[in-house]
Chains A and B, each alone.
Chain A
């Protein structure tokens, strides 16, 4: 599925003294099967943008297109099945007595047969490496496990696009690495992923393209190398290291991922 935003504006609390323009004309697209990262500082509009992608927020101006069709003309339930949104700290919404039932809740609302529901629960738990947790209480899990179960609940809707808002926030570094590997697995399964993050090092490892938001506007969008090498002061650690060496060692190229960067550094004479 192709998801496109055209000149989307969003004003909170319009007509009150608290009026804030959170998005000031954002245009971008999410292509089929890619991981698009949305980065930017606190207050840049990242979460507001994410919530427009499944019409949880309706734009004040501009439009959201799903395969070329205005999202407003689609059934909301249909849209939210196709575009799954995982909020920040989604584990706070876990509620059922077992993991299995929690993950089954959303697909059951789709009116699927019980067999199909169980099949989807199993598949999504497997995709998130959480199959062994099915019978456990979600409340007795660790932070990283809860996070994975919450994502599995959205995945069980079989979305074509999965939007993850700061999925690794508050996780310890090892659990975070596990979750990033799972995101790559989802992409491998053909699901488009929108990764909202303030951590450029994690973006460097999993994203295909990146969109930099600043003050409600798109400051840059494109391949990781194009965007990050244009402004290495706002770039992942790997890019900062490589760009410091670039002047005297231009042969280093424009590596972004850790493995790429290590290879480029090892190829330098004497290293």
Chain B
């Protein structure tokens, strides 16, 4: 791994960096994170996976200043989240697991405006930012809907719009689909994909399939960063997956067993096409 602290010291290219960061919860014998070093370059899409208790949520809380490391250094856009949490939260927005907990206002548009109101943004500017955020997540026409009447996927998109309205350059997604059904999950993931080109994204998830298209995947296990690899390599390493209680989705799992490239094949259609191609080249050689 390259030296993750380098960029921040010069105010350079790293959007997020952790240098030998350790953290223990009070009363716990085992550190939740132990000497973790990592860096996110601007515009990167990085997945974070690993078993429960591996340290994923702790990492998220250190990045937005909810927790302060016992030792080591965290920087977000050059700032220390532990000492400047409010400044950091303008640059880094977190989408949490359960959309029910985050929605507070009577109407969708008020909810999306909530973060901006807290920052004291002038009314007119706020209106245009809210409208743009609602458009980005595809919820035009929902402005005057009451959040509790929405589906899980729609609620999570409202929460995402609230984050985007503040225009952070870094998005941290903390298991954003875990409370959603398959349709809601697809819906949220599609909107996240569309943000890839403009944001630096850290996506924490239990589902390896959701980060198959990431630039890199980090595996946290027992508080340590144990893997930092491309999805292509990680998906092919059955032992590493097993040791870290990671489960491949059905399509890459079939692909792996058939000796096809698991990270390239994400949908049943892609897998079926790859299989057909093989059977046809066989017919030609015969």
A interface residues with partner B (beta carbon < 8 Å): 41-42, 142-144, 170, 172-177, 198-199, 201, 236-238, 240-241, 244-245, 248-249, 258, 261-262, 265-266, 268-271
B257 in contact with A262 (CB, 8 Å) = yes
Q: Which residues of A contact B272 (CB under 8 A)?
A: 241, 244-245
Interface 1/0s, chain B 258-273, versus A by CB < 8 A?
1000000000110110
- B residues near A, CB below 8 A? 51-53, 151, 178-179, 181-183, 206-208, 245-247, 249-251, 253-254, 257-258, 268-269, 271-272, 275-276, 278-283
A238 with B250: CB separation less than 8 A: yes
The reply to whether B258 and A172 contact each other, CB–CB distance below 8 Å, is: no
**Least CB distance, A245 to chain B, in whole angstroms:** 5
In the bound complex, residues from chain A placing their C-beta under 8 Å from that of B207 are: 173
Q: With both chains docked as a complex, state the minimum distance between the C-beta of B139 and any C-beta of chain A, in angstroms.
A: 19
Are B179 and A170 neighbours in the complex by a CB distance under 8 Å?
yes
Q: Can you name 10 A-B pairs with beta carbons within 8 Å?
A: A143-B52, A172-B245, A173-B207, A176-B247, A199-B182, A245-B272, A258-B250, A261-B254, A270-B279, A271-B258
Residue among B258, B271, B272 with most chain A CB within 10 A: B272
Q: Which residues of A contact B178 (CB under 8 A)?
A: 170
Cβ of B283 to closest chain A Cβ, rounded Å:
7
> Which residues of B lie under 8 Å from residue A270 when comparing CB positions?
278-283
Contact in complex: A42, B251 (CB < 8 Å): no
Closest partner residue, chain B, to A205 (CB atom):
B250
Please indicate the chain B residues that have their CB under 8 angstroms from the CB of A176 in the complex.
247
Specify the chain A residue showing the minimal Cβ separation from B178. A170
Q: Is the CB of B181 within 8 A of A198?
A: yes
- Contact with B268, one of A42, A241, A248, A262 (Cβ below 8 angstroms): A241
- Knowing A174-B245, A268-B275, say if A258 contacts B269 (CB, 8 Å): no
Q: A198-B181, A268-B279, A271-B278 are in contact. List 11 more A-B contacts (CB 8 A).
A: A41-B181, A142-B53, A173-B206, A174-B245, A238-B254, A244-B268, A244-B269, A269-B282, A270-B282, A271-B279, A271-B282
Give, as a whole number of angstroms, the nearest-CB distance from B137 to chain A.
Answer: 20
Closest to A177 in B: B247
**Pairs of residues from A and B, 9 with the lowest C-beta to C-beta distance, nearest first:** A270-B282, A244-B272, A173-B247, A174-B245, A237-B250, A240-B268, A172-B206, A270-B279, A241-B268
Taking the closest CB of chain B, its distance from the CB of A197, in whole angstroms, is 11
Pair A265/B258 contact, Cβ less than 8 Å: yes
Given A198-B181, A198-B182, A270-B281 in contact, is the A237-B51 Cβ separation under 8 Å?
no
A271 to B151, CA, bound (A): 42
A240 contacts across to B, CB distance below 8 A: 268
B206→A265 contact, CB < 8 A: no
Q: A198-B181, A237-B249, A269-B282 are in contact. Are A262 and B275 (CB under 8 A)?
A: no
**CA A266 – CA B268 in complex, angstroms?**
16
Kindly report which residue of chain B lies nearest to residue A201, judged by CB atoms.
B250
Contact of B254 among A144, A262, A269 (CB under 8 A): A262
A262 and B255 CA atoms in complex are apart in Å by 9
Q: Is the CB of B279 within 8 A of A241?
A: no
- Chain B, Cβ-Cβ closest to A176: B247
Task: Tell me the nearest residue of chain A to B272, going by C-beta.
Answer: A244
Which residues of B lie under 8 Å from residue A262 when comparing CB positions? 254, 257-258
CA distance A150 to B135 in the complex (A): 43
Chain B: CB-nearest residue to A237 = B250
Task: Evaluate contact between B246 and A174: CB separation under 8 angstroms.
Answer: yes
| A256 to B259 Cα, complex, angstroms | 21
Contacts of A265 in B (CB 8 A): 254, 258, 275
In Å, the complex CA distance between A243 and B183 comes to: 21
